[in-house]
Amino acid sequence: MNISLQNPQVIIKNGKPRAVILDIKKYKQLLKLAEDREDLAELRRIKTGKTSFRKLDDYLKDSV
């Protein structure tokens, strides 16, 4: 079966949208965008000093 989705297909249940079927390429783009946004948020936290760091040796000592 070779189906090409030009537009996302919305699944309706009980009169309300419940799911979306979309092209895998679009899905992967959305995942990358979400990851990029999370990375930017973490960079902002680091930049504003709301993140703390430990030396690797100290971390390794604590995890044993």
pLDDT at res. 4? 61
Q: How many other C-beta atoms can be found within 10 angstroms of the C-beta atom of residue 58? A: 9
- Cα separation of 31 and 18, whole Å? 19
CB atoms within 10 A of CB 23: 14
Three-state DSSP class for 41? helix
- Phi and psi at 43, nearest 5°, equal -60, -40
State pLDDT tens for residues 16-60. Answer: 999 999 999 999 999 999 999 999 998 888 888 867 778 899 889
* The residue to which tokens 């703390």 are assigned: 52
Q: For the whole prediction, is pTM greater than 0.95?
A: no
Does the pLDDT value for residue 13 go beyond 90?
yes
